[in-house]
Amino acid sequence: MLDLTTLFLLCLAALTAGFIDSVVGGGGLVQIPALFILFPSFPVPRVIGTNRFSSFMGTGVAAWQYLQRVEVPWRVVLWAGVAASVFSYMGARVSSLMPAAVLKPVILVLMTGIAIYTYRNKTLGHEENLRLSPERLPWLAGLLGGAIGFYNGFVGPGTGSLLVFGFVSLLGFDFLRASAQAKLINVVADVSSLIFFVLNGYVVYEIAIPMMICNMAGSFVGSRMAIGRGSTFIRALFLVVVFGLILRFGYEVVRDW
């Protein structure tokens, strides 16, 4: 049985994570460290599986909110979503065989580059400026979805943020539409990798279910705020989350060394 203090801290982390994740992704930056701190004896796949179960419904809530108010290019989302789904499951399988530490230095460099690029390009993502023709756009979206889907299953934290950045910088969408598409793809990728964790008994439901409820509440508030305030607000929070990811992966790289 969970004591009330632990339950409160879990729910607070899930609420915060849902808010952040619904806007720019990166909710795992809050939930995963909380699970590691409160349950230090949990193996990594159990932490990731429990986190994934508790967050996928919150992502669904955010996706539904965006669908009501943001025009979505369905061909782009379909191609990226299918690729993300397939490669997310593959990434989850690989994560049980190979330590994530091998990717962390690469991710640290990638996140640092993303932060610098986004900060220096003040107008990035404020207006839509598609890079490719409508016929070629789904192909690049599929490649992007596959690459980030694999990362989602393998490591996890920052998946939504990477998707948002990819849709803004590579495809040319504004931050609001990029965030909407990222949520839809996140739902597909999360469910795909979650199948692996559920089937292998890595989800602790007495922890995951109350966290899921709070994550959904935070996601509802965050997505409504993102839609109301638009790309400027999303860009600002995106930079905050990416900076947090840099600190996290920087700490883990130094610790592993």
pLDDT given for residue 196 in this prediction: 82
Task: Provide mean pLDDT across the span 233-246.
Answer: 88
Distance (Å, whole) CA 199 – CA 237 = 35
pLDDT given for residue 209 in this prediction: 94
pLDDT given for residue 125 in this prediction: 80
Distance (Å, whole) CA 13 – CA 33 = 9
DSSP state of 130: -
pLDDT given for residue 148 in this prediction: 87
pLDDT given for residue 96 in this prediction: 67
Q: For residue 15, is pLDDT > 70?
A: yes
pTM exceeding the 0.85 threshold for the entire prediction: no
> What is the sign of the dihedral through the CA atoms of 86, 152, 189 and 89?
positive
Q: For residue 71, is pLDDT > 80?
A: yes
Residue 108 contacts residue 253 (beta carbons within 8 Å): yes
pLDDT single digits (tens) 183-239: 888 787 778 778 888 998 999 999 999 999 999 999 999 999 999 998 889 999 999
pLDDT single digits (tens) 123-160: 888 888 887 787 888 999 999 989 988 887 777 667 78
Return the higher-pLDDT residue of 15 and 162.
15
Residue 32 contacts residue 48 (beta carbons within 8 Å): yes
Distance (Å, whole) CA 157 – CA 32 = 8
pLDDT given for residue 104 in this prediction: 72
> What is the sign of the dihedral through the CA atoms of 181, 163, 27 and 101?
positive
Q: Which residues contact 22 (CB under 8 A, 6 or more apart)?
A: 58, 59, 61, 62, 65, 183, 218, 219, 220, 221, 222, 223, 226
pLDDT given for residue 203 in this prediction: 93
DSSP string, 35-66: HHHH-TTS-HHHHHHHHHHHHHHHHHHHHHHH
Q: Which residues contact 244 (CB under 8 A, 6 or more apart)?
A: 26, 29
Task: Provide mean pLDDT across the span 60-80.
Answer: 90
